[in-house]
Amino acid sequence: MKEEKTCSYYIRNIAHTIKYLQDKCLIHYDLTNQQARLLGEIIKLSKTKKVFGRKELEQSLNLKGPSVTSLLHGLEKKKLVETEANNNDARRKTLKPTEEGKKLIKQMNLVFEATENQLTDRLESDEIEKFKEYLEIAFENMKE
Contacts of 48 (CB under 8 A, 6+ apart): none
pLDDT at 91 over 70: no
Confidence band of 143 (pLDDT split at 50, 70, 90): confident
Closest CA to 106 of 58, 54, 36, 34: 36
pLDDT at 42 over 80: yes
- Alpha carbon separation from 85 to 72, 88, 89, 95 (Å, rounded): 15, 9, 8, 9
Cα–Cα distance for residue pair 68/58, rounded to 1 Å: 7
- pLDDT (average), residues 40-65: 85
Is the distance from CB of 72 to CB of 56 less than 8 angstroms? no
Q: Looking at residue 118, what is its pLDDT?
A: 93
- Alpha carbon separation from 31 to 2, 34, 37, 68, 88 (Å, rounded): 41, 8, 10, 15, 32
- pLDDT (average), residues 45-53: 80
Q: What is the pTM of this model?
A: 0.78
Confidence band of 144 (pLDDT split at 50, 70, 90): low
Cα–Cα distance for residue pair 65/68, rounded to 1 Å: 5
Q: Looking at residue 90, what is its pLDDT?
A: 64
Confidence band of 121 (pLDDT split at 50, 70, 90): very high
Domains belonging to the chain, first-starting first, are 7-143 (1.10.10.10)
- pLDDT (average), residues 82-108: 83
